[in-house]
Every structure is written in structure tokens, then in C-alpha cells.
Structure 1
Amino acid sequence: MRTGQNIYKRKDGRWEARVPLGIRANGRRYFKSLYAGTYREALGRKNAYEKNIPSVKETLPVPPNTFSVAAYGWLAASEQEWKPATYVRYRNYLEKYILPQWKLLHLREIDQKVYDALIALLEKSLSASSMQTINTVISGSLKHTLKQLPVTCKKFVSERRMTPRDILSKSEIFRLRSHLEAEEDLTAVGILLALYSGIRLGELCALTWADIDLETRTLYVRHTLQRIQNRNRLDGEPKTMLQIGLPKNKKERAIPLHEQILSVLEQTRRLYLPSDYLLSGTSTPVEPRRMSSRFKRILKECGLRDIRFHVLRHTFATYSLESGMRTKVLSELMGHSSVKITMDRYVHLSNEFKEAQMNNLQYTDSTSISRQKNGQNDAEAC
């Protein structure tokens, strides 16, 4: 409830008075907040604070042609195209790593030498993945304002490669399945579904029973659930919040249900409403962090090694390919934008499969070669 003089009543019952102190590099004002139990007390504290400083002067806005202004302009113009978590990540990287060096740098001053100096400084402590994000922010900001990129960005390749430990072995799958099938809770159902569909953890947490069509035997991935930074947080509010949005790449997809999981879902479905979440059985979802903890507890109960929930997705992709699934089909089921992503990131063929494929190799034997030669001679004679 606002009452004038930049004083308003908060939801927690306190009164907050704001004293303007200046304008940040992104063009937004920043304030000193003063709190009190009543409006008059807040006004008194505000007046006293203003008297104790020589003058409350607004700093001049950052010149419009600086990298800082260009970067915040790019963020504002592109925000609607991204998922909230993507926007937060780009802004955090900008403010933590780039602006400390480039905040007041004029766009005309950014050349290859300046770029290389920043990259040399940051890559000492950041991973290849983080450096790729740095490049995205820099190139996006410069292209948005200059319509071209005045530097050549260094390419970074992630050092992490898939290993056999990134998928479950057949014996591990058997032990995990045996344990889950003996359980009668929704957590077990969710893990089995992930193992037979390859969906991401956030997508699993966002599933409701309305997303599972047992008549057509189809799972529809329409949303994802994730915990993101609370950008407009007020005092007393949590720093993060749960957010349900579209899946990665903003693409919904349909996944045919495997026979092994279909019977489990049919037995469980009748107990819940279509609007109930799969993992909770209520109108409140289970957040990914909690589901991940449950998964690790089950691994411990099974006597299996400690792995991430995402390994189920790797396992699904690898064994699907080894079972003869076409890569294009697998890529669409995984929700990837290209087949290359599927093959590069999620498929690690087992040595057993490679050996079986190697045994399929056949060279023409000597008898066949002789027959081919005789056939050629007969043809020439004719």
C-alpha cells in the first residue's frame, strides 16, 4: 500500500521508506531502504537520513555507447525468448565476470586485443562450459548493438567426455529394476519411467497424470520444473523459487510408452486425479532436488554406486541405440535439436556391443573370389 513520498506498507506489516541514491550502469535507480512500524516513523527516519547526507545526488547515467548499456539492452530485448533460468545465468555471468572489466568500456574500444585479455584472465579459473557462456553474452551484446561482431571469439570444447561409468551396466539395471518393482510408491514409478523414456529430471517432476495417455500408450512431455533465482526478491523472501515452464528448446514432445512401464502405470493411474503430479500424487510437485535425494537413497539401498539421476537418460539413449533404434528417432524422443547432440553427448557404446558389431564384418573368401574371376572370364569370352 503506497501513500506517497516513496513510502509504502509491506506485506509483512512494516513500513518501508526509500531514499534514491543514484542510477546504476543498467539505467535503473537504486535506493536506501529504511523500515519502521508506522508511516510516521518511516517518514521521520527518511527525513533524518536525508539530513545526515550533504545531498542525495543522482549519478549521471553511464554513456549510452558503453558495453554495459549494450549488454543490458541485449538482455532486455531477448528475455522473452529465453527460459527464466537462461536469463538469470546470462545476467549473472555478465555481472560477475564481464562487467568488472568492461563496465565503462566504450564499444569502439573493444577489439581483439581487449577481448583476448579478458578471456586470458577468465579461463584461468572457469571451465570450458562457463567460457562458452561468456562468449555467448559478449557476442550477443555486441551483435545486438553493433549488428556485427568486431572480434573473433575463441572456441572452447568441454573437456568432459562420456565414459562407461556414465551409463548403468546390465547387471546394475537388473538390480535397480528388481528393487523398484518391489516397491509400491510413486518415487519408484518415476524412476522406472525415466529409465524407459529418457526424460530429464525436471520434466519428470513436472509430469501430471494428464500427461500420460494410457489409451494411446503415449507420454507427453509438456513442462519442466526447476528452482531458479528469485529476481524480484523482497526482504524476507527466499532467494530462489520453483518455476514450471516449457521443456528445453521450448518443444513439447510425445514418447511412446514401453511395455515394461505401461503395466506399472496402469496399476497406479486409477488412484489419482488427472491434475495430480506423478511423483507426489497431489496438486503439489516434488522438486528436482528432493527427487535426486530420493534416487541416491534408493541406489544406496540397492548397493549400487553413487550416480546422478541424469545417468538414467544416458543409459536409455545408449541401450536404445544398441537395440537397433534409429538415431533420428532417438534424437526426437530425447528432445534434442539435432542428431549430433544425441550422438556426441549421450551415447557411449559398450565394448560388448562393439565386439558384436565387429563380428559382423566379413571379407569375401577365396572361393568367392575365384568364382568372381571365372564369371568375368566367361563374360569376356561371350
Structure 2
Amino acid sequence: MPIYPYEKNGKEHWYYAFEVKDADGKRKTIKKRGFDGKTKARKAEAEAKVTWERGSYIDPSKVTLGEYITKWLENKRDISLETRSTNEGHLRNHILPIIGSIQLQKVSVSDIEKLIESLYDKGLADGTVRKVYNLVNTCFKVATKKELLIKNPFDLLEKGDKPKKGKAKFDYWTTDEVKHFFKVLDHRQRIMFVLAIRCGMRRSEICGLRWKDINFSNKSLSIIQTLRPQQGLKIGTKSSASSRSIALSETVIIELQRHRKLILEERLACDEYQDNDLVVCQPNGLPVSLGNFDKFWKRIIKNTGMRYIKFHELRHTCASLLLSAGVHPKVVKELLGHSSISITIDTYTHLMPNMQLDAVNTLDKMLN
């Protein structure tokens, strides 16, 4: 059997190679490397021969990047439905139109540079550019590891040509703006905005919150369930740090009790009420529609006459107001459910200029 050993990084690997004739009678060699065992190589060779004889064999050297990365993404199992949907969007909108038709083995450094340039030309945020870049780079790393490529073109990029990790930019409302917002806001889902601004909760956490997750006696709530665009209601959170307990102020307790009264009235009035125990729900008890959420938020902005910020930036508003008031970053980190305090500090460091001054002044008082 045409199975051959070779050495790579001090370890023995195997490859198969066999000759065939194409439709024109020309001889060609079918070859594949990267097997860590002789048995695996022999089994793969047998499958390749059967596939060739059936006429469905695809020469690895002829596979385009678009064909390979699409198949690779389809077979990827270690990502959530939301991440998969996002990646498919990046693939469809940004990757395939620029370099998708190039043969995988012929993608060059200049092609990668062209992709990066096209992303910036579209005016995409630095974070989005890096996500697209990392998606393609990871795909090429896998292809290189499987020895479909001799060299990963990403490794040849100059450091200055790689997308830089830009600092996240966000907007938030001031104290006066928040006061005005709640003064003019008149909506059955008012509690949604109360939880976002006063508790720093994410949209998925607010829309998945159940009444049984709230302890009115202890004035706290627990983040246990979330509502996701692709997965719907799901037990579990974004990360282990996101699963947390949040203390509730007297104002939030009053708002929750007022909202609970409304929900009980709607339940009695609706003959086909579907009780999911949700705090934020439609009048019939079903979860809110995340597909129309942006339009819903823009209507709220229009009806209240507020300066536009993204709904997620209500969470930033909560953090910004707390830090500006001198609350310790560790407390804010725990409230928001960040995985580490460095994320909190890196994101909001520009809001804490007085903290350092307060620290040195305190030291002055101690030593003088």
C-alpha cells in the first residue's frame, strides 16, 4: 500500500499517495499528509480511492477558500448559535466577496492585506475588523495544521499591517438625562429600562428574568436565565461571571412591585395567557421579540425626545454614573458581571481620573 512515513517537529507522521488517470487520460497523483498513525493514513487513502472512483473526488489543490471556510464553519461545533450566525454574516458580507474565489493554496499575503483594507474601507468598527480577521486566520491555522497548506499567509503579515486592537467606544447618558428620561417615560415595559440603568443588566438578562429569580425579602435578584436571539429562553448566562446576584435599591423594588401588579392584571384579562413567569414579556406572557428590538428602542427614543444611544449603552450609563460617583471598580465589576476587573478598568478608565488624585491626597493626609 502506498503509505509513507515522514518526520515533522521530531515526530513520525504518515501520508498517502496514489496515481489515477483523469477524464483526459492524464496521470495525476492524489496525495495527503498529516496523519499521526499508519492505520489512519491507510483508511483515509481507501476512502479517497472510493470517492475518486465514484467521480466525486475534489482535489485539495483546487478547493477555493470560500468552499473550504464554508465547510469548516459548518463542521465547527464549539460555538453558540449566536456566534455561528454572526460568523456566517461575516463570511457572506465581508470574506467571500473579496477572497472567496481564490484557491485555498494560492491565497497570498497581498490577498489578506486586500481583505483587511476592504474592511476598513467599509467603515467597520475596529472590533468587527478584528473578528473577521481572526475568523479567517483561525481557519488558515486549521488548514495549515492539517497540512493542506505549507505556510499560513497570516504568519507573513507585517505586525503593522495586522488590525490593531482599538479601544471600545461607547456613549452614555448623564445624570440629568437619566432623570429626564424616567420623568417623561410612559410605557408598560418601563421596568426594562429601570433594570438596565439602575442594575446594569444586559438585554438578554432582563428579558430572561423570572419572578422566582427575585427575592423581595432580601432585596436581590439572581441572573439564572437569559433570552437569546437564536436559542430563545435558556438556563445559563454569557459566562460564569455573568451568573450573579444583584442587590436591589428601594426604588427598583417599588418599580418591580408596580410592574408585577400590571402583569397580574394582564394575566387575568387574557384567556390564552402563557405563563413563563417572565418579568418582561408580551401582554400574553410570551417572551418579547428580539427581532424587532432595535425598532422598539428607537420608538422609545423618539417618544421621549432623548439623545440617541444604543440600548446596550444604558448598561454603560449605569457603570459610568457609579464610577463617576467614586464607587470602587470591583463593585461595578461584580454588578455588571464582567469576567475580570481589568475589563471594567480598561473600559471605563477615562471616567476615573479623580480616583488617583483622591488616593494621593489620602496618602498625604496619612503621612502629614
Q: Same fold (TM over 0.5)?
A: yes
CA gap of 1:62–1:309, structure 2 versus 1, over 3 A, is same
CA offset at residue 362 of structure 1?
4.5
Q: Judge conservation of contact 2:276–2:286 (CA < 8 Å) in 1.
A: no
CA offset at residue 102 of structure 1?
4.0
User: Quick check: 191-200 or 337-346, which moved more?
Assistant: 337-346
CA gap of 1:59–1:340, structure 2 versus 1, over 3 A, is farther
SS of 1:248's equivalent in the other structure is coil
Give 5+ residue unaligned stretches, structure 1.
Answer: 1-57, 229-241, 373-382
- 2:318 corresponding residue in structure 1: 316
Match of 2:59 among 53, 58, 63: 63
The 5-angstrom pairing of residues 160-239 of structure 1 reads 161-162=169-170, 166-180=171-185, 186-227=188-229
Q: Judge conservation of contact 2:326–2:355 (CA < 8 Å) in 1.
A: no
SS of 2:221's equivalent in the other structure is strand
- 1:279 corresponding residue in structure 2: 280
- 2:332 corresponding residue in structure 1: 330
- 1:248 corresponding residue in structure 2: 238
Instruction: For residues 281-332 of structure 1, give each alpha carbon's deviation from its aligned partner in whole angstroms, at most 9, with x where no partner exists.
Output: 6430122465555554454454432332223111111122233433233223
- 1:342 corresponding residue in structure 2: 344
2: CA distance between counterparts of 1:213 and 1:252?
16
Matched, 1:156 2:139: no
1: CA distance between counterparts of 2:291 and 2:71?
33
Q: Judge conservation of contact 1:195–1:316 (CA < 8 Å) in 2.
A: yes
Q: Under a length normalisation based on structure 1, what TM-score does the superposition of the two structures give? A: 0.61
Instruction: For residues 207-264 of structure 1, give each alpha carbon's deviation from its aligned partner in whole angstroms, at most 9, with x where no partner exists.
Output: 2323323233332223443545xxxxxxxxxxxxx83445434753332223320232
2: CA distance between counterparts of 1:220 and 1:364?
38
Q: Judge conservation of contact 1:202–1:225 (CA < 8 Å) in 2.
A: yes
Q: Judge conservation of contact 1:314–1:347 (CA < 8 Å) in 2.
A: no
SS of 1:286's equivalent in the other structure is coil
Instruction: For residues 83-119 of structure 1, give each alpha carbon's deviation from its aligned partner in whole angstroms, at most 9, with x where no partner exists.
Output: 2121022123223332345446454434434422333
Q: Judge conservation of contact 2:174–2:321 (CA < 8 Å) in 1.
A: no
CA gap of 1:139–1:174, structure 2 versus 1, over 3 A, is same
Q: Which amino acid aligns with 2:278?
A: Y
* Identical columns (%): 26
Equivalenced residues, count? 288
CA gap of 1:286–1:70, structure 2 versus 1, over 3 A, is same
- 1:85 corresponding residue in structure 2: 82
- 1:130 corresponding residue in structure 2: 128
2: CA distance between counterparts of 1:360 and 1:122?
43
The 5-angstrom pairing of residues 5-44 of structure 1 reads none
Match of 1:259 among 250, 275, 286: 250
Q: Based on CA coordinates, which of the two structures has the bigger radius of gyration?
A: 1
1: CA distance between counterparts of 2:208 and 2:228?
9
Give 5+ residue unaligned stretches, structure 2.
Answer: 1-53, 146-150, 268-274
2: CA distance between counterparts of 1:290 and 1:109?
43
SS of 2:227's equivalent in the other structure is strand
Q: Which amino acid aligns with 2:277?
A: D
Q: Which amino acid aligns with 1:141?
A: C
CA gap of 1:299–1:90, structure 2 versus 1, over 3 A, is closer
Q: Judge conservation of contact 1:70–1:144 (CA < 8 Å) in 2.
A: no
CA gap of 1:319–1:77, structure 2 versus 1, over 3 A, is same
